[in-house]
Structure formats: structure tokens, C-alpha cells
Amino acid sequence: MPVYEYKCVDRGHRFEVLRKLQERDEPIECPDCRSGNTRREVSPFGTGISSGCYGSSGSCGCPGGSKFG
């Protein structure tokens, strides 16, 4: 299962959860403050990144490929 990153909207907590793909957008409780007001952080693997940005040269201006490499 992939890991998804969530953000607690109320207090700004960040946490990662191992979830099934189908459940990634299901509501989830913040483990720190038990708030249900959370949202999934958009993954760098999503559509917000330009194509051809999977290299490690950094020439595209992405925040570094070290996170994935």
C-alpha cells in the first residue's frame, strides 16, 4: 500500500498514513489532536508536476529529486 500525506487543517499537523489507493480520499482523523478536519496533501506524483520532470538533474526547478532517489 502507498503512503499518503495528510494535513490537519485546524492545527497544521502533518502525518502520513499507509492506506489503500481507494481509501486515500476518505476522511481521516488527525492522530495528534483527533481533529477530523484534515485533507490529503497533493503528492508530487500527481498532475501538478510538469512532464519530463522525473530526472535528477534539477534543471526543471523541482525541489530536488533526492526525496525519491
Residues that bind Zn ion (CB under 5 A): 8, 11, 13, 30, 32-33, 35
Which is nearer to Zn ion, 28 or 30 (by Cβ)? 30
Q: How far is the CB of 35 from Zn ion (least distance, A)?
A: 5
What is the Rg, in whole angstroms, of the alpha carbon atoms belonging to the chain? Answer: 14
Phi and psi, residue 21, nearest 5°: -55, -40
Query: Minimum distance from CB of 26 to Zn ion (Å)?
Result: 17
Give me 35's grid cell: 481533529
Phi and psi angles of residue 22, each rounded to the nearest 5 degrees, phi first: -70, -20
For residue 6, the minimal CB distance to Zn ion (Å) is 9
